[in-house]
């Protein structure tokens, strides 16, 4: 089960500090095994920053994004299945993907990831 959380008005100010630990705790609250919640922290033009909380076994189905994507693990461990390669990484790992690369995301354990998308 997935749940999207909308950005808040204060997140759209000219300058705003995001408390990532607090955002993560809020998203993790109530995430069941196999589920996920997400929140867009920032969107402007071709740039999007979003946070995902994933219960064990939760994730995102195969998809592709029309931009360069970076994924940083803030908590836990995730696995990404790309054509010809499965990538697993944990806290401190940063993944970069080229535009259009098909992939899925699966949480090996309860996880929080920060995703940056720069659309082309």
Q: How confident is residue 85, by pLDDT bands cut at 50, 70 and 90?
A: very high
3-state secondary structure of 10: helix
3-state secondary structure of 44: strand
- Report whether pLDDT(14) > 90: no
78: domain range? 2-119
CATH of the domain at 32: 2.60.120.10
Q: pTM score, two decimals? A: 0.88
Q: Which of 50, 35, 45 is nearest to 5 (CA)?
A: 50
Q: How confident is residue 5, by pLDDT bands cut at 50, 70 and 90?
A: low
Tens of pLDDT, residue by residue over 20-49, are 999 999 999 989 999 999 999 999 999 999
- Report whether pLDDT(7) > 60: no
Instruction: Tell me how many domains the chain contains.
Output: 1
């Amino acid at each position: 089960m997935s749940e999207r959380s909308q950005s808040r008005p204060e997140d759209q100010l000219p300058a705003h500090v995001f408390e990532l630990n607090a955002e993560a705790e809020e998203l993790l609250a109530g995430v069941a095994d196999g589920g996920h919640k997400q929140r867009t922290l920032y969107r402007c033009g071709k740039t999007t920053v979003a946070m995902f909380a994933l219960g064990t076994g939760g994730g995102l189905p195969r998809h592709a994004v029309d931009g360069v994507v970076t994924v940083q693990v803030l908590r836990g461990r995730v696995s990404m299945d790309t054509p010809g390669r499965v990538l697993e990484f944990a806290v401190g790992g940063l993944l970069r993907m080229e535009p259009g690369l098909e992939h899925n995301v699966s949480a090996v354990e309860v996880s929080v990831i920060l995703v940056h998308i720069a659309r082309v």
